[in-house]
Structure 1
């Protein structure tokens, strides 16, 4: 995620003739931007689209911090995507502000749904959930120790001091959620258009590198295939990417129609085949 840039993602993709992907929805709240694209062949299978925004910044409601969430179904399975920018800071106690932001986003995220339809109204009503963005959790080591571990690519030692990993383990934030193994360098804070972290040249103050940019998942039927960072240098962050395999329930209208049109003779004669798994 590159939270502070208003990039024309849609325009860039539209320039390609007959892209294999089509945009479902895009929504921006200040520096938080979420866009959902699917393969053209899946477009008709995406329904029940809803969007929710929650600001938790200044005064508890300004949108410089908060979440943009999308609810939708793919076939008969409900998905939720939550893109967030949480409270910043390296000071003692800042991690509790981030945890509080997570709780507030859960509490206030609501999706409108007609009263007679059993559609998700909050995040946990969905079957497959992804939470991504600048979560801003830091690494509790000194500047010097962080750079020492980065230079030796000792990601496991560094992850052992990561605030989000600790909060996940203790259940204080994202209880029950999962994240892939981190095997890449911290994604923040870089000099623009550079491979150097802020502080490497002693200008602009030291900032201990951190994995601020994360992707988490919740729900059964998800398998993580890839979790890595990209090397785009447009921001002081490095974006992260994840690839998942997701199971979906596919409803067969043909089988339902067959079940509804069975004759009494077929039922009584034992001609019903047990192929009615919808």
Structure 2
């Protein structure tokens, strides 16, 4: 969901989704919203991605693969429709060139040039429907699940704590953070930037069950007693990253705050928030000029080419069709779990079986 102080300022809202759980279902996945924000005669385009990547310490390669699935499959238009239209236009143009009066070598040259231009147009259109649309700002947030180890802790493992005087103060564990290491190595969150983390690990918390709930005698709304779970290394799993403004723009994002909220009773995570001033740069000005595309401008995130200039991976043309198929599997799995694991489902299943049995016996009585 996206909330706005003045919803009337949001125009042209688009949405996208991709699943990368079991059989590409959405038990793990990402959703995206894109909108044009207008105020005072100025406008800028904003893209937000919320995601939940693979869990467990040892699943680092899968988390990186999940991000790859987002880059390939989280598209705000159907790539297959774009591709089909391009094919029709290409066939029409090829027929037109073939009918022109010119020698064979000239026609071959014209066709090569036309195919090259068509390929460039297709790449541009795929770029525009991806999360890295060149004319849009981008924010990625969620339970990214990156840890500080690839193995579970032992009973003797050192845990981060909140004591500044301790050798295990949480800041001494930040160098182990998988997300920062993988991002700077160009293996995940390509081109993205993050404000330095200055808050404690956001996972995994165990809330004291004896803590009185709010509104009862002896309760305190401001304090929840907690401790870190002993079977998971505390880690900064919950993060918010952004695509910094490119080299051809003078302005920069101005981060006002990046912090974790207090521990809450209903989750083993601490939520995080980012407060940032986003310059009102028009989509036309934010898109890379031809000179930057030709030179392959460096990413403001510190690794590789700016994803506004060149996509890190190719778009999956069948992304929407794969999502439709996965959605059917989700519905089937959901109904199966509902009928097999809930009281209401058991009532429905029992009623269907009873109705079927009654119908069978009535049929036998009437016709046999």
In the alignment of these two chains, the number of paired residues is 205
Corresponding residue to 1:54 among 18, 22, 41:
18
Structure 1 gap ranges (5+): 1-34, 200-205, 252-278
Asked whether 1:81 is paired with 2:48, we answer: yes
The structure in which a higher percent of residues are helix is 2
Query: Which position in structure 2 is the counterpart of 1:216?
Result: 241
* Conservation of the 8 A alpha-carbon contact between 2:45 and 2:282: no
Query: Which position in structure 2 is the counterpart of 1:190?
Result: 205
How far apart, in 2, do the equivalents of 1:229 and 1:133 lie? 13
Tell me the CA shift for residue 140 of structure 1. 2.4
Query: Which position in structure 1 is the counterpart of 2:140?
Result: 131
Tell me the CA shift for residue 149 of structure 1. 5.2
Q: State the TM-score, normalized to the length of structure 1.
A: 0.67
Corresponding residue to 1:104 among 54, 60, 69:
69
How far apart, in 1, do the equivalents of 2:282 and 2:138 lie? 18
The superposition leaves residues 118-150 of structure 1 with CA deviations (integer Å, 9 ceiling, x where unpaired) of: 894111005211100000000128565552554
Give the 3 Å change call, closer, same or farther, for CA 110–48 of structure 1 in structure 2: same
* Runs of 4+ deviating beyond 4 Å: 113-116, 141-146
Asked whether 1:167 is paired with 2:182, we answer: yes
The superposition leaves residues 67-95 of structure 1 with CA deviations (integer Å, 9 ceiling, x where unpaired) of: 0110111123111100000001112xx11
* Conservation of the 8 A alpha-carbon contact between 1:146 and 1:158: no
* Conservation of the 8 A alpha-carbon contact between 1:128 and 1:222: no
Asked whether 1:228 is paired with 2:259, we answer: yes
* Conservation of the 8 A alpha-carbon contact between 1:149 and 1:157: no
Structure 2 gap ranges (5+): 86-124, 209-224, 246-251, 284-368
The superposition leaves residues 22-80 of structure 1 with CA deviations (integer Å, 9 ceiling, x where unpaired) of: xxxxxxxxxxxxx211112xx32211101111110012x11111101101111231111
How far apart, in 2, do the equivalents of 1:146 and 1:38 lie? 43
Cα RMSD (Å):
2.6
* Conservation of the 8 A alpha-carbon contact between 1:155 and 1:182: no
Give the 3 Å change call, closer, same or farther, for CA 161–150 of structure 1 in structure 2: farther
Tell me the CA shift for residue 110 of structure 1. 1.0
The structure in which a higher percent of residues are strand is 1
Q: State the TM-score, normalized to the length of structure 2.
A: 0.51
